[in-house]
Amino acid sequence: MALPRAAESCGQEMSMATTYHGALTSGSIARSKPGFAARVLQRYIEGRKREASRQIADYLRNFDDASLESMGYSKMQITKLRRSDSCSPFIL
């Protein structure tokens, strides 16, 4: 490595150092949002949960109120179940 002329004339070597304050490990790098694959998997899981909740609600609608009460469902849960648009995970 060639030294600048000023350093050669004084008989000194020059050096340069770069410092970084922070960890450079992969675990310390935080993403602001999940990656593409994580989002796809999360959407798939949510869709499967909604479908399972809908199927369970459809199955439970076949029981009468007395049977549902004997299974531990409250009046409010049964009323929510009887609504046609209800496919809430609350029923599970």
Is pLDDT larger for residue 55 or for residue 84? Answer: 55
pLDDT tens digit sequence for 5-20: 655 555 667 677 777 6
Structural domain boundaries in the chain:
32-84
pTM over 0.85? The answer is no
- DSSP 8-state code for residue 32: S
- In the block, which residue shows the tokens 């060639």? 2
Q: What angle do CA 49, 55, 57 make, to 5 degrees?
A: 100
Alpha-carbon span 45 to 21, nearest angstrom: 39
**Contact in structure between 91 and 56 (CB atoms under 8 Å):** yes
